[in-house]
């Protein structure tokens, strides 16, 4: 079985789903800025991403519900 990748309506870099050679499918949700906001695994669990108004990743919640937050260091670009 071949790997299948499904693109979105905006451009080819926006992958909306991927199925591996074993039939395992992951779905990808993007916001209107084409930023990845959610990944759904085959079990129906979701990994989510939150961005600030400037488009920087500020938090993510993994498949087990663990939240991770990020802060930018002023003047470092990190």
Q: Does the structure show a pLDDT above 90 at 8?
A: no
Q: What is the pLDDT of residue 33?
A: 86
Sole residue written with tokens 């085959």: 42
Q: Which residues contact 47 (CB under 8 A, 6 or more apart)?
A: 38, 39, 41, 60, 61, 62, 63
pTM check: above 0.75: no
The domain locations on the chain are 4-69
In the numeric block, the tokens 């990190």 are attached to 78
Instruction: Select the highest-mean-pLDDT range: 22-36, 42-56, 64-78.
Output: 42-56
CA–CA dist 45, 28 (Å, integer): 12
């Amino acid at each position: 079985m071949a790997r299948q990748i499904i693109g979105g309506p905006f451009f080819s870099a926006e992958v909306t789903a991927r199925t591996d050679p074993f039939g395992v499918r992951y779905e990808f949700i993007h916001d209107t800025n084409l930023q990845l906001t959610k990944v759904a695994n085959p079990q129906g669990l979701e990994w989510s991403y939150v961005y600030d108004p400037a488009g920087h990743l500020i938090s993510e919640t993994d498949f087990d519900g663990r939240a991770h937050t990020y802060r930018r260091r002023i003047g470092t670009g990190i």
